[in-house]
């Protein structure tokens, strides 16, 4: 394993650890409405990513990226839709954490990779081995058990999983630098976020200008909290095998689950344990079969 690959692993693991502990950050802002946090998150994410682009002397390239996107209307509108999908994902996540549904957010991010697999089969004509097909079926059983036990569809988990899986599917077809891509994504949502934030201020619903210094600082740093893990992840995945990145992605929902249960005393019944066990088993089975598949391919190439 080379130095670059080791560095990539460190970046990716750090990104997932940061995402895993992110509910603690949003809990510090639970006295602020989810819609104000979201509008601020978009605004400050755009400012922070734009600053990074300017500092990195990539502003000219950013303009070229926008021109290239406009020249390819499919990519332009694809990224536009993706930006609103990820914004919807952010809102659902912030709302869920502050409403006491951290365990459900964890479930959403466990389901997400398996949903991405199904989207890959449907839209990208990808094929699964028998072990991988069984793992998807096992995860589906886990979700059905949970849905029946709840007596209603766990809509928070499904919304998180669906929006992020669709976001990933669209992004897969658009070749753009991750940092500049994130800058453009937040730029697409910026007008709506600014208009909504002005509405909150005019109607005296915004706490940004009336709250204490610590709240204001936390709101400003939502941009940093959003961008840093994404940048670390993008840097890391460039120098490491994709299957290894997929294996590490379960770090975040596992930490979220532990945070919800241990720090915030969220309920985790035997039925939920049974359901999560099916999903955990499915993910382990899928990951092992994927690693074996990749190694077999590597050996045949050699």
pLDDT at 247 > cutoff 80 = no
What confidence score (pLDDT) does residue 2 get?
66
Q: What is the pLDDT of residues 16-64, one digit of tens each?
A: 899 999 999 999 998 899 999 999 999 999 999 999 999 988 899 999 9
What number is the average pLDDT over the span 238-250?
A: 66
What is the model's pTM? 0.82
Q: How far is CA 297 from the centre of its chain?
A: 29
Q: What is the count of structural domains for the chain?
A: 1
What confidence score (pLDDT) does residue 246 get?
62
In the predicted model, what is the mean pLDDT of the chain? Answer: 85
pLDDT at 242 > cutoff 60 = no
Alpha-carbon torsion angle 143, 144, 145, 150, nearest 10: 90
Q: What is the pLDDT of residues 55-92, one digit of tens each?
A: 988 899 999 999 999 999 998 999 999 999 989 999 99
Q: What angle do CA 54, 91, 47 make, to 5 degrees?
A: 15
Contact (CB, 8 A) for 156 and 106: no
Worst-scoring range by mean pLDDT, 53-57, 124-128, 143-147, 242-246? 242-246
pLDDT at 163 > cutoff 60 = yes
Contact (CB, 8 A) for 155 and 289: no
Give the domain extent around 61.
Answer: 3-301
């Amino acid at each position: 394993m080379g130095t670059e690959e080791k560095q990539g692993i460190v970046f990716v693991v750090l990104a997932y650890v940061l995402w895993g502990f992110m509910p603690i950050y949003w809990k510090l802002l639970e006295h602020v409405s989810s819609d104000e946090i979201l509008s601020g998150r978009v605004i400050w994410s755009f400012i922070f990513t734009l600053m990074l682009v300017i500092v990195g002397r990539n502003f000219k390239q950013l303009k070229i990226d926008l021109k290239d996107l406009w020249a390819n209307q499919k990519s332009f509108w694809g990224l536009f839709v993706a930006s609103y999908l990820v914004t919807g994902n952010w809102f659902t996540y912030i709302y869920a954490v502050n409403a006491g549904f951290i365990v459900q957010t964890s479930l959403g991010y466990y389901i997400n990779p398996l949903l991405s697999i199904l989207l890959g089969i449907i839209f990208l004509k990808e094929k699964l081995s028998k072990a991988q097909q069984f793992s998807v079926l096992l995860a589906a059983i886990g979700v059905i058990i949970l849905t029946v036990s709840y007596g209603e569809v766990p809509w928070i988990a499904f919304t998180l999983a669906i929006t992020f899986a669709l976001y990933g599917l669209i992004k897969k077809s658009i070749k753009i630098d991750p940092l500049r891509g994130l800058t453009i994504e937040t730029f697409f949502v910026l007008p709506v976020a600014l208009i909504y934030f002005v509405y909150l201020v005019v109607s005296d619903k915004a706490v940004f200008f009336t709250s204490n210094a610590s709240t204001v600082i936390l709101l400003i740093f939502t941009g940093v909290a959003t961008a840093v893990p994404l940048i670390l992840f993008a840097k890391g995945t460039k120098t490491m095998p994709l299957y290894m990145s997929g294996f590490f992605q379960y770090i975040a929902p596992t930490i979220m689950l532990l945070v919800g249960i241990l720090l915030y005393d969220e309920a985790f019944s035997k039925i939920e344990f049974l359901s999560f066990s099916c999903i955990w088993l499915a993910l382990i089975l899928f990951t092992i079969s994927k690693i074996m598949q990749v190694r077999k391919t590597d050996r045949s190439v050699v």
